[in-house]
Amino acid sequence: MRPVQYFSDEYLEKCKEMTPVQIIQFLDDFRNLQYSVQTSKSRLISMKIPEHLLNTFKTKSKLKGIPYQTQIKLLMEEWLKY
């Protein structure tokens, strides 16, 4: 069961001044926060990537000391923030 969130009148007045873009950003940030708290299952995917691109990506990831699949996930998460 989730706790009930109560908002002050001052906070609600500030919210009324938000632009649509700010509202969308707030909702997206909230969604990201909620999903980062929950542990979700991983799903196996299959992608076709040009061999030279994959080899270069693997090499650069190895030089940084990060497994290339982990780096792909980090890039996806970073892209979703913006």
Instruction: Read off the pLDDT band of 6 (50, 70, 90).
Output: confident
Q: How many domains does the chain have?
A: 1
Answer yes or no: are the C-beta atoms of 62 and 68 closer than 8 Å: yes
Weakest-pLDDT range from 14-23, 31-40, 45-54:
31-40
- Judge if pTM exceeds 0.85: no
CB neighbours of 74 closer than 8 A, spacing ≥ 6?
66
The answer to the question of residue 64 being in a domain is yes
Answer yes or no: are the C-beta atoms of 58 and 68 closer than 8 Å: yes
The answer to the question of residue 12 being in a domain is no
Tokens encoding 76: 């996806």
Q: What percent of the chain has pLDDT over 90?
A: 43
Instruction: Read off the pLDDT band of 82 (50, 70, 90).
Output: low
Q: What is the mean pLDDT of the chain?
A: 86
Domain enclosing residue 61, as ranges: 19-35+46-80
The answer to the question of residue 29 being in a domain is yes
Among 53, 77, 58, smallest CA distance to 69 is for: 58
